[in-house]
Chains A and B, each alone.
Chain A
Amino acid sequence: MSLSLSLQSLLFKTNAWLAQAEGTTPAPEGGEGAAPTEGAANAAGDATKEIVEAAPERAFMLNENSTSDESGAPYIESAITYVLNVEQSSWWIAAFSMLLACLGVFGFINVFALFAVWLERKVSAHMQCRLGPMEVGPHGALQTIADGIKLTVKEDIIPKLADRPLFILAPIIVFTGTFIRFVPLPFGPHLNAIDLNLGLFFIASVGSVEVLGVIMAGWASNNKWSLFATIRTATQMVSYEIPIGLTFVAVIVSAGTLSLHGIVEAQEGWFFNWYMFRNPFLAVLFIVFFIATLAECKRAPFDLPEAESELVSGFHTEYSGIRFALFFMAEYAAMYLVSAIAVVLFMGGWYTGIPMIDEIGMNTTSEVTPWLGLFIKAHVLIGKALTLVFLQIWVRWTLPRVRLDQMMYLCWKVLLPVALLCLVGSAFWDLCMGAFSDEKDYFMMIIPK
């Protein structure tokens, strides 16, 4: 029955999406549906407010009713409609705004990579009784820009015996594979390129594209060390996707939605509503997720693919110049990506965990405060993600590297069973707690209407 229910809601969603693409507003299913987002510039803020107000505690209900957050980039879209002075958004405005949002994300990745490289160098330096870059800009803040310029103007070297097309294609695929995962990632409420209703599934599925690029890079380099690194990478990333997938599933079970937006909104309120604190199984899964993403990002102690003391420099040994910069950028972008996903899934996304602060911009009708609320929320999300990025850097500069067999052992014999147990445990916990605290919603799921 629950299956048919979810199928029904899926169908309804599709209809809603289609209707929206055509520029019409779908009729809400329940009586307490949300308002449409199209219209004036401040409509989006109001819509968010109404969703939040209308949303019942259970996430399943929220998902069924929140038809209006199925749009692409609502802020840009409404801005365009406002500038063009048209009444209704049309499909090409939606598409164009998504494109603009993607460009924005692209810019963010670039800026973040520059910042993260600098951060990594400074943090590692201070952990190691050094100063790190100090010459270019205040405290070496412009050092990575100088490095970036140097990398772009560097001679493009392709080894003679390398497989040329693959060699050229590989960094592009790796970068694209990372970048494409940013598409459904929110930077704040409705601040995303496209809020896919299958957001998590999308992230999990296109994540493997990066592995393909790495394999191509290692193979095309025609270098034995690179080949070693490639095999290690393939083994590692494919293995660690399974614990990551299981954590995804556990969160999906709790939130009842695959949309990253919906998952964050299910964690609204006090910080103990965050999935990290909501039940012990999810807390364990958060740790599992963090460890697995360290491996997924090829960060220490799982930096086997680029183990410099064993494999010289891993799969990008033969790369230099802008191609190397692409690998580098992808690596640092992935660092932010997994941290942001962890924040969205477990740490309440853009919510501070204190409702008074979260309500800024929600309960007023003035023109400034919605934007202030958005500003705060975006900074909260990025700030939380940066904390996790710092944690990754900290771990990297503290721990030695594990061996290949130990890495596999950890994945298949520790993380996987733990994740499976926690998935089941978390589901049961939710079921039981739901039965005691909010029986209506609970029985709605299993008892046919």
Chain B
Amino acid sequence: MNRVGEFHVHKNVRKRFVVMINAGDLRTEEMLLNMGPQHPSTHGVFRVVIRTDGEMILETESHIGYLHRCFEKISENVNYMQVVPYTDRMDYLCAMINNLGYAEAVEKLMELEVPERAKYIRIIACELNRIASHLLAFGVYGLDLGAITPFLHAFRDREKILKIFEKLCGQRLNYTYIRVGGVSFDMTEEILQDIQDFLDYFEPDVLDEFNRLLSYNGIFISRTANVGIIPEEMAINYGLTGPSLRGSGVKRDLRKDEPYCIYDRFDFEVPVGDGEQGTVGDCWSRYIVRVKEMYESAQIIRQAMRDIPGGAFIDKKASNKVKPPKGEVYHKVEGARGELGYHVISDGTDVPYRVKARAPSFCNISILDAMASDANMMLADIVAVIGSFDIVMGEVDR
């Protein structure tokens, strides 16, 4: 059977001879591939150990925790206002909504009613930030699939939003803008005009440009449509939220279903994946939901800017002394990546007893191993799938 069996040579050498002599003995091996934590398309320090058969993926195993910064533990040692900057650093691409979730949770605990103008400013800031976050998601997804230009086009427009935020609160990424009792600075007429100009520039042409450049590009569709399909039931079972869930065709948006702040006053649509290209729940559906959401966010901002009242932008008295009564509260908001929940427990002091955050990215990425294993995916597909969840590792690890 083995023609070199009679030679007493070293095991490895013999192996080599067998390959050379008897092609029938050629065999293939599975390979363990360590993707990350330093890898261009894991969106930070995410690590996936992939068992591959050539280019085909047999099994994946996700590892997280490389960006753990003890948000919850630190929160137990600083006072209520000092927690706000730490929330910025969870989902650093969408810090406004992180601020909002925490501020509203504490306000709920204090039974505090913030000024009307502050509520409108919050909506405008959050939706602008959602656009900025989705722009980045759009651009980075292109980058994952090898299209570099859309990424920089998205950054061009994201930059405009960041400029507005810089004018608004002096920060470009970690704003600490929305605080308990209101917002830290007023949104002046000048800034409102800037936002108006941005929307007039962004909404009609730019989204169309993006669609022409990437969304309906043939290669892009062939790379994303029918790849990484998550059926509706599976998406719900794994606790997917946000665009990742809506991509599977589930019409669930906290802004619509359980309106917080003043979202019930605005008229907007909740886009869901409809299988326009490929199947409902594939990467393309998740992607296009984000593009459509940018348009809806612009609608919300326009309405909020139309209706914004005058008056105070912060309840100074309440924000100077944040000391909620004993109790606990869970408050959830719709972040750019899904349901962002804060569970705050107060023991009556000015330091929270416990703050727990439910991070959408963490839940969304938990489905990866289940869907990637025995799904007939290729190495390039896993990049497309990770990108389609739009995870932020700062939020996964907190």
Give the segment of B89-97, B147-155, B234-242 that binds chain A.
B147-155
A127 within 8 A of B: yes
Closest-by-CB residue of B relative to A403 is B380
Q: Interface with B: A15-23, A137-145, A177-185, A303-311, which one?
A: A303-311
Q: Which chain B positions have C-beta within 8 A of A307?
A: 146, 380
Contact B41 A401 (CB under 8 A): no
Closest to A129 in B: B156
What does the 1/0 interface line of B367-390 toward A look like (CB < 8 Å)? 000000000001111010000000
CA of A401 to CA of B223, assembled, Å: 8
Distance, CA A300 to CA B219, complexed state (A): 11
* B152 adjacent to A130 (CB under 8 Å): yes
Q: Is A397 an interface residue (CB 8 A)?
A: yes
Q: Which of B146, B214, B380 contacts A301 (CB 8 A)?
A: B146
Residue A366 interfacial (CB < 8 Å): no
Number of A-B contacts (CB under 8 A): 78
Contacts of B223 in A (CB 8 A): 400-403, 406
B143 touches A309 (CB 8 A): yes
> A130 to chain B: which residues have CB within 8 Å?
152
Complex Cα–Cα for A300 and B217 (A): 14
A124: Cβ under 8 A from any B Cβ? yes
Alpha-carbon distance between A307 and B148 when the two chains are bound, in angstroms: 12
- Closest A residue to B380 by CB, please name it: A403
**Contacts known (A224-B33, A301-B219, A404-B378); A309 close to B149, Cβ less than 8 A:** no
Interface set, chain B 1-47, CB cutoff 8 A to A = 31, 33-34, 39-41
| Contact A310 B219, CB 8 Å, known A129-B152, A400-B147 | no
State the Cβ distance, A267 to closest chain B Cβ, in Å.
33
Q: Describe A's contact surface by its main secondary structure.
A: loop
Indicate if the CB atoms of B378 and A403 lie closer than 8 Å: yes
User: Are B219 and A128 within 8 A (Cβ)?
Assistant: no
Cβ contact within 8 Å between B153 and A129: yes
Give Cα A124 to B150, complex, Å.
Answer: 12
Knowing A127-B149, A128-B148, A224-B33, say if A400 contacts B383 (CB, 8 Å). no
Q: How large is the interface on A (under 10, 10 to 19, 20 to 34, 35 or more residues)?
A: 20 to 34
Judge whether B171 is part of the interface by a CB distance below 8 angstroms: no
Whether the pair B378, A128 counts as a contact (CB closer than 8 A) is no
A309 to B39, CA, bound (A): 8
- Given A399-B219, A403-B378, A404-B378, A308:B40 Cβ within 8 A: yes
Q: Does A155 contact B (CB under 8 A)?
A: no
Partner of A300, one of B142, B144, B146: B146
A307-B380, A309-B144 known; A400-B40 Cβ under 8 A: no
Instruction: With both chains docked as a complex, state the minimum distance between the C-beta of B393 and any C-beta of chain A, in angstroms.
Output: 16
Q: Which residues of A contact B220 (CB under 8 A)?
A: 400
Report the nearest A residue to B218, measured CB to CB.
A399
B121-155: CB near A (< 8 Å → 1, else 0) gives 00000000000000000000011111111001100
Question: What are 20 A-B contacts defined by CB distance under 8 Å?
Answer: A128-B148, A224-B33, A228-B55, A301-B146, A301-B219, A307-B146, A308-B40, A309-B383, A310-B41, A310-B379, A400-B145, A400-B147, A400-B217, A400-B223, A401-B223, A401-B380, A403-B223, A404-B378, A404-B380, A406-B223
Binding site for B on A (CB under 8 A): 124, 127-130, 224, 228, 231, 300-301, 303-304, 307-310, 312, 397-406
Q: Give residues in B with beta carbon < 8 Å to A.
A: 31, 33-34, 39-41, 54-55, 142-149, 152-153, 156, 213-214, 217, 219-220, 222-223, 378-381, 383
The 6 closest A-B pairs by CB, nearest first: A401-B146, A128-B152, A400-B147, A309-B41, A400-B145, A403-B380
* Further contacts, 15 of them, CB under 8 A, given A128-B149, A300-B146: A129-B156, A130-B152, A224-B33, A301-B146, A304-B380, A310-B383, A397-B148, A398-B149, A398-B213, A401-B219, A401-B223, A402-B222, A402-B223, A404-B378, A404-B379
